[in-house]
Amino acid sequence: MSRVAAAIEAAHAAGRGAFVGYLPIGYPDLQTSIDAAVALAEAGADILELGPPYSDPVMDGVVIQEATHAALEAGFRLADTFTAVRAIAARTDVPILVMTYWNPVLQYGVDRYADDLLAAGGAGLITPDITPEAAAEWISASERTGLDRVFLAAPTSTDERLAMIAEASTGFVYTVSTMGITGERAELDAAARTLVGRLRGHGVAHACVGIGISTPAQIAGVVEYADGAIVGTALVRALRDGGVAGLTAEARALASGTPR
């Protein structure tokens, strides 16, 4: 079993859904982003999702866009991804997934990226803008290295596409709660529940729901039917407004919504 799947199963064994927490690497600076990720793990996150800043973050909402822009302005470089993962992995056993747009991986070299991520202690990639049929090189590299590959499924995905995503994904399937960009929403779309059910029909063992989740109550609602909940914007805002201490408090509050 993959490290990510094992973390989800461990949460289930403890009577909880998994809490997947997202933070950008390099925000507000590299060392603080490392400390923040470790604090997030210590505050209850079962899986860390770390995002290298990208110049055209088409899936991200305003809070995350502003944070990644600040990280780029501060001098973030792609190699800092592996520096951060290595430093975080040395301080926590919580598995680390890198959420990355595909172009930086392609420019770096798919096999080189996989090898460097594995060497740093990373667990795999979440790839929001590449589909399984276009990811043969990454699938091959991940099979060679044992890294997890998390693809996204959307409410608009056809059954044919869901079957392809189910077959290609390891760790979990990132289940998009609603169409649009990341951020916070007062209500999560009922489409997420339907989508998780459709994925189950295609044999998906682990489906975690993301986009728009920002409160313990929303997490509690999600883990009634899904394996875990993914939170990003609320954590980034807490780090922005309250530093690592503020992030820790927010993460603890969010984790209180995971018991089933």
pLDDT in tens, 140-171: 999 999 999 999 999 989 999 999 999 999 99
**For range 120-139, the mean pLDDT:** 96
Catalytic residue among 49, 80, 148, 189: 49
What token pair was written down for 189? 């779309």
pLDDT in tens, 6-45: 999 999 999 999 999 999 999 999 999 999 999 999 999 9
pLDDT score recorded for residue 189: 66
Look-up of token digits 């189910």? 166
Closest to 64 (Cα-Cα) out of 21, 104, 19, 24: 24
Catalytic residue among 46, 60, 148, 227: 60
Residue 228 is classified by DSSP as E
60 is catalytic: yes
pLDDT score recorded for residue 1: 72
**Domains in the chain, please, with CATH?**
3-255 (3.20.20.70)
29 is catalytic: no
- Helix ranges (DSSP H) in 14-135: 30-42, 62-73, 79-89, 102-108, 110-120
pLDDT in tens, 100-116: 999 999 999 999 999 99
pLDDT in tens, 184-240: 455 556 888 999 999 999 999 999 999 889 999 999 999 999 999 999 999 999 999
Q: What are phi and psi of 59, to 5 degrees?
A: -90, -10
